[in-house]
Structure formats: C-alpha cells, structure tokens
Amino acid sequence: MMTNKGFHVAVVGATGAVGQQMIRTLEERDFPIRQLTLLSSARSAGKTVSYKGEEIVVQEAKPESFEGVDIALFSAGGSVSKKFAPEAVKRGAIVVDNTSAYRMDEEVPLVVPEVNKEDLKNHKGIIANPNCSTIQMVAALEPIRQAYGLKKVLVSTYQAVSGAGKEAIDEMYNQTQEILDGKEIKPEILPVGGDKKHYQIAFNAIPQIDKFQDNGFTFEEMKMINETKKIMHMPELSVAATCVRLPVETGHSESVYFEVETQGLSAEDIKSKLSGAPGVVLQDQPEEQIYPMPADCVGKKEIFVGRVRKDLDEDTGFHMWVVADNLLKGAAWNSVQIAETLIDMEIVKEK
Amino acid sequence: MMTNKGFHVAVVGATGAVGQQMIRTLEERDFPIRQLTLLSSARSAGKTVSYKGEEIVVQEAKPESFEGVDIALFSAGGSVSKKFAPEAVKRGAIVVDNTSAYRMDEEVPLVVPEVNKEDLKNHKGIIANPNCSTIQMVAALEPIRQAYGLKKVLVSTYQAVSGAGKEAIDEMYNQTQEILDGKEIKPEILPVGGDKKHYQIAFNAIPQIDKFQDNGFTFEEMKMINETKKIMHMPELSVAATCVRLPVETGHSESVYFEVETQGLSAEDIKSKLSGAPGVVLQDQPEEQIYPMPADCVGKKEIFVGRVRKDLDEDTGFHMWVVADNLLKGAAWNSVQIAETLIDMEIVKEK
C-alpha cells in the first residue's frame, strides 16, 4: 500500500473476526501504512480483502512473508503466533500479538495503553495484547487505582460469542432461527470449539469460556486473574473471575466488585475519576435508565461504565458495570492502539 | 374440584405466567384439593383453564370470592395482593403471596421451606414467597451456612425474561425474529413494563431489573439483599447484588461469591454440603464439562449448583454458579411447597 511514507504492516489472521476488525481499524485510523501484507493459513489464502478501496490478496503465512515488515499484528491463534512471531522478529519486525501465546512470558510486555504504555519500552520484539475481557476491566479500574489504590477485584462476565470467532457467531444465529422454527438443534462449536461437548447458546447462558484448569477455574478466568496482576504491576492484588458466555454477538459486559485502599469514599468520588479517564465513557444516570449495554457498544472504541454504586456493607467496596466491543477495544483496536503508541513513543521509527 | 377430601384452594392470577405454573404444579403434586377456585382481573375473567382434565372458568377476584377458601395462592401483582389478601384472611383463608407486597412486613413470614419453614408457625394469615432470584440463592447457601457459617455474599445474576411476565417472553421472541429478519425493532416492555424507557433484549444484556432506588441499586437488587437477611435471620450478613436481564426465556443463573466463618476449607468441603442438601442438585464435574445451565433447568423443581471453587486469595471465600427454573422453584413451586409444608406441619388442617 502504496505510498512512500509510513510503515510496512502485516496482519496475520486477516480473514478472521478480529483480523477483519484490525484492517477496518487501520483504515479508519488512517494508520501510516506504506505497504500492507495480509496473511492467513493456507486454507484462507487467495481470498481478497479490501483496504481503502483496493483489493488485497491474502497470502499464506510463511517465514519469508515477514521480510521488510515493520509492524506485524497477529490474531490467528496461539500456535500460529508461536510459529511465526519469532520469525517476524528475526526479520526486524515488531510483533503485536493478540493471542494468549506470550502474554504471561516475563520478557513480553502485556499492554493496555491507558494503563501501562511505559512497559512498551522493555519489549524484545514481541508485545502481547491482553485477553478481551481483561482489557476493558483494567482500563476502567486504572483511574480508580491511581486515585484511591486497589485491593480486591471480583468480576462476573457476560461475554459475546464473537470472542469465539466467526463460526460461533454463525452457530448462534442459525441455532436461534432453528429454535424459533421449532427445529431440533445440533450444537457443534460453543462453548469451546476444541472441547469435547457442545451446548446450546441461543436463549441460554454457558458458564464456560475456554477449557478448564485443574483448579476448577477456566483458562479464561485465569487469564483475567493473571493478566490483571501483570498489567497493573500488582502481583499482590486479589482478583477472581467467573466467565460466562451469552447469546450476544458482540460486546462483553462485566459486573465488577472492587475494594480500594482509601476509606470514606462515595460513589460520586469513583465516578469523578471515571469521567474523562482515557478511553472510558461514564454512562451512569439510573434515574434516566442510562447505563451501558452490549447492543449499544458495537463499533465503538471506548469502554463504557455505569451502575457505579457503593457497597452497602464494606466502606471501601464498590460495584460497577463495564461494557466494551470485544472485537475493538478487546482486540483489534487495542492492538492498533499499541502500534500507534509505539510510533508516538518513537519505539518504532520509519526506515 | 370435586372430591370430599382435601382443601379449598384459590389461585389468584390464574392466567399469568406464574399462575399457570401454580396450577400445573398443584396438578403434578396431586395436591389435596376439594375445590379449586381460579381468580383473575376482570380482563381475564371468563377464560377457562384445565385442571386434571376439567375446564374451570376463571372468575373475577372479589372479596366474596374467598368465602370458604382454605389456602389462597396469590400471584397477580402487589396491588392485587394488597387489596385482596386481607379479604381472604378475614374469611379464614391462609394466603401464600408471591408478590413483593408483604415480604418485608415484620408480621409476615418470608419462607423458603428448605431454609426457614419454622417461621411458618408465626404467621398471622399471610405468608410471603420470596423473590425468585433470592429463593434459589438462599437454598444453595443454607447447607453451607449450617455447616460453616456465613459472613458475606456477592451475587451477579443472569435472569430470564419470564420473570417479567408473558408479555416479556413474547417481546423477546418476536424481537429476536425481527432482528434475524433485518427488521427494525420497537421495544415496549423490557426491561421494566412500567418504566419510562424500553430497550432491546434480543442478543443483549440489560443491567436493570425493576426500577431504580435512590441509592443506585434497583428494587430487584434490594429485594435480594433484604430478603436474604430476613430469610436467613442474619441482619448482620453482608449481601450485595447486581441484577441483569438476559435473552433467556426461563431459568435464572447466579454467579455467587461467598465467605464462610470457618477457615481452611476446600471446595470439596463445600460440595459435600451441597450434595444431597434439600432441594439442591450438585452438577459439578468441570473435567466432563458438567455444570448447570438455564436451558437444562426448565420444568425442574430443584436448584442446580456447579462451578464450586475456592477463591485463590481469600481462605474463607468460595465461588459457585446457581441455576433454577424461576417460574417453579422461584415462584410457583416454592408457593405450593409452602402450602404443602403448612399441611405437613398441621398449621392448616382439613375442616
């Protein structure tokens, strides 16, 4: 792509749900792109994707595909990142990886720009994009932590099927129509494509996202717990999560209980820190029935917070409801935002 | 109804979602009924409802309707209960009221039989059936409280639309079909029939059930908080709730965090108390992806509990996922169960 200025950007997983959003976000942000390389598995190679009116042919990812690439955005599954991210780095690219492959690697910064962009300075070639449900929560908690400290976080999630990919979206809509038509359904994807059993998602709620660990928590829940501590640089923070999949296409919601260090605060104190915080929009007027909902957040880059209220028993405890587009702030936009921040901070420079 | 033995039972609100379930439950339980009187508003009077193969004409509720009635099951809204429950009591009936009208009245027992059936002895004519979301939570917490004590409860709910009545169910299904057909939708009922604004429920999650109080909590959330304390006789218990409506027809789910008094327990200790507890079914084998879901609980009277795990930071803290049919254990079955318990305990006797 086709100007002399800017960067050579590669998108790995260009035909997936998040990859598509990455390309749309690069376009919308008018990201400084000199050349755009779109990569995928052999299966999807040969498809074309439009970018700024031009049709680009998606190529099969190979080590050589990364020759000359400045910034590579990966979102094609952990095994693809494990295989190709080191190849991209070897060839001089900086990688922003949206899979879980490197998130807990001590050498790899795990970044939400509103929270810990300074960590980008320590990168060794790969930067990890956190899990979707983690990103929106830490970005909402950060302005509160800065002002009042943070001791404890308990979250129950209400997560959309698009986090499980395009096939999960199709399954939800097809299954919904089958149920409305009184037909028998045959779940094949959700809750987890690679797991043994599959359950109805239409008109249901499934308390499993990703597979189970031996401790009874799912990997998704452990991601929220461990990633939150890493991003906030708070290994001592108490965090627990229960993650639940809903029949919602896009937009994760979270019921978050948290305890701060400071005593005697009111809900207004918390709201005053959320209002105007980077990337956060406060939508909190119960008397007007104004609160965030997934159906309203789709296509938006911000994190929406409402239902802020003080716990009735614990002086330092508060509740809030956090909603964001899991494909944008939860994935594509946070990745592109990391890339923009790398440029702003002059960590990546034009060659 | 048409034997010489048993009781004269009245169902008030016989054509509503819960009233219908009450009649089905009386039938299924083979409740000892000598005569069955079905009552409703003037609007629904004249409809017929079948009971054990017989068509019964629904009559408009009037004070005189309760002459000779032994047990009156009310589920026609708080204002109907306020108007007619005292009339029924005056005529010698015992009232089991499924509305919120009398729940927090100090003179009125608020009963989940698995938890506090002894409170029935103190009735003064009216017994209140708790809120659906409260019932399933306290019944799951009670065996744990008995064994290990209870200090704190934090719940986030995932509630079905049938809790908002038949019109809400119709709205959800019609709206779902309209969205699948790409049509414009016009929400008119949910989240709260009597509130100012109405929102999309299909493929969405709405963090509002019932209207808002001045403290930022909804009435539904305050019901869970206050009713839990009253049923468990624990005014000092810390309880907080966030209540959310989902596009699920029937079956409330709850993500419950709780802290016990006893230190050093394991998740197995908690599960051992849930397993075999009255009215509770433990469904908790993560390695086999076995956990409760609303789609599986419909039509069942039990409370299903799974995802039991120990908090990773707080020694006395645990998490669980509680699911029940909100029209049955959450409403109709708990009411009929109260009536059965009144008979078992010989608080109501055949005349």
pLDDT tens track for A143-185: 999 999 999 999 999 999 999 999 999 999 999 999 999 999 9
With CA atoms as reference, the chain A residue closest to B215 would be A309
Residue B105 confidence (pLDDT): 98
Q: Is residue A203 part of a domain?
A: yes
Write the secondary structure of A223-284 as one string of H (helix), E (strand) and C (coil).
Answer: HHHHHHHHHCCCCCCEEEEECCECCCCCCEEEEEEEECCCCCCCHHHHHHHHCCCCCEEECC
**Is A183 in the same domain as A292?**
yes
Q: For tokens 């100090």, name the residue.
A: B106
By the 10 Å C-beta count (0-12 exposed, 13-18 middle, 19+ buried), A103 is classed as buried
Query: Mean per-residue pLDDT for B263-283?
Result: 98
Within chain A, where are the H helices? 17-28, 78-90, 113-116, 132-148, 166-180, 219-231, 267-274, 294-297, 333-344
State residue B212's pLDDT score: 98
Q: Is residue A1 part of a domain?
A: no
Confidence of residue A4 (pLDDT cuts 50, 70, 90): confident
B239 burial class (0-12, 13-18, 19+ CB within 10 angstroms)? Answer: buried
Residue type for position A111:
V
Residue A315 within any structural domain of the chain: yes
Nearest Cα to Cα of residue B39 among B74, B90, B78, B91: B74
Asked whether residue B101 falls in the same domain as residue B223, the answer is no
- pLDDT averaged over every residue in chain B: 97
Complete DSSP assignment for B196-264 = S-----TT--BS-SSPBPTTS-BHHHHHHHHHHHHHTT-TT-EEEEE--B-S-SS-EEEEEEEE-SSSS
What's the pLDDT at B2? 55
Chains A, B: CB contacts under 8 A, how many?
165
Give A 227-266 residues with CB within 8 A of chain B. Answer: 238-240, 242, 244, 246-249, 253, 255, 257
Considering the domain architecture, whether residues B300 and B245 belong to the same structural domain is answered as: yes
Q: Please tell me the predicted confidence (pLDDT) of residue A351.
A: 81
Q: State chain A's mean pLDDT as an integer.
A: 97
Same structural domain for residues A200 and A278? yes
For residues A305 and A158, membership in a common domain is answered with: yes
* CA of A138 vs chain B CAs: smallest distance (Å): 19
Percent of chain A with pLDDT over 90: 97
Q: How many domains does chain A have?
A: 2
- Give the pLDDT of residue B1: 47
Q: Are residues A78 and A113 in the same domain?
A: yes
User: Is B119 part of any domain?
Assistant: yes
Q: Does B170 touch chain A (CB under 8 A)?
A: no
Q: Who contacts A214 (Cβ-Cβ below 8 Å, separation ≥6)?
A: none
Q: Within this chain, do residues B288 and B179 fall inside the same structural domain, yes or no?
A: yes
Read off the pLDDT of residues A222-261 as tens digits, 9 standing for 90 and up: 999 999 999 999 999 999 999 999 999 999 999 999 999 9
Task: Indicate if the pLDDT at residue A2 is higher than 70.
Answer: no
Owning domain of residue A36: 7-129+331-344
Give the whole-angstrom CA distance, residue B5 versus residue B289.
48
Same domain, B125 and B145: no
pLDDT at residue A58 in the model: 98
Is residue A145 located within the same domain as residue A241? Answer: yes
Looking at beta carbons, which residues of chain A come within 8 Å of B295?
A: 199-200, 203-204
How far apart CA B126 and CA B104 sit, in angstroms, is: 12
User: How far is residue B140's CA from residue B159's CA, in Å, rounded to a whole number?
Assistant: 17
Cis bond before residue A143 (omega within 30° of 0): no
Instruction: Tell me whether residue A334 is annotated as binding.
Output: no
Answer yes or no: do A138 and A284 share one domain.
yes
Looking at the structure, do residues A291 and A174 belong to the same domain, yes or no?
Answer: yes
CATH number for the domain spanning A45: value is: 3.40.50.720
List all residues of chain A from 184 to 213 with a beta carbon under 8 Å from chain B.
Answer: 191, 195-197, 199-200, 203-208, 212
Q: What is the mean pLDDT of residues A47-57?
A: 96
**A295: CATH:** 3.30.360.10
∠ Cα A230 A234 A239 (to 5°): 85
Virtual CA dihedral for A59, A61, A62, A64, nearest 10 degrees? 60
CB of B80 closer than 8 Å to CB of B41: yes
Q: Confirm whether A270 is domain-assigned.
A: yes
A351 in a structural domain = no
B138 shares a domain with B31 = no
Write the single-letter amino acid at B88: A
| Structure token digits, residue A190 | 């959700």
In DSSP terms, A126 is beta-bridged to A95
Average pLDDT for residues A114-135, to the nearest whole number? 98
Q: How confident is the model at residue B90 (pLDDT cuts 50, 70, 90)?
A: very high
Q: How far apart are CA B320 and CA B309, in angstroms?
A: 7
For A161, nearest residue in chain B (alpha carbons): B203
pLDDT of B173 > 50? The answer is: yes
Chain B residues with CB-CB distance to A292 below 8 A? 207
Does residue B226 sit at the A interface (CB-CB below 8 Å)? no
Residue owning tokens 């800017």: A6
- Domain annotation covers residue B350: no
pLDDT at A3: 66
Measured distance CA(A206)–CA(A194) in Å, rounded:
16
Q: Are B199 and B187 in contact (CB under 8 A)?
A: yes
Average pLDDT over residues B336-348: 98
Distance CA A218, CA A164 (A): 15
Of B216, B248, B314, which is closest to A238 when you measure between CB atoms? Answer: B314
pLDDT at A1: 47
- Give the percent of chain A with pLDDT over 70: 99
A224 in a structural domain: yes
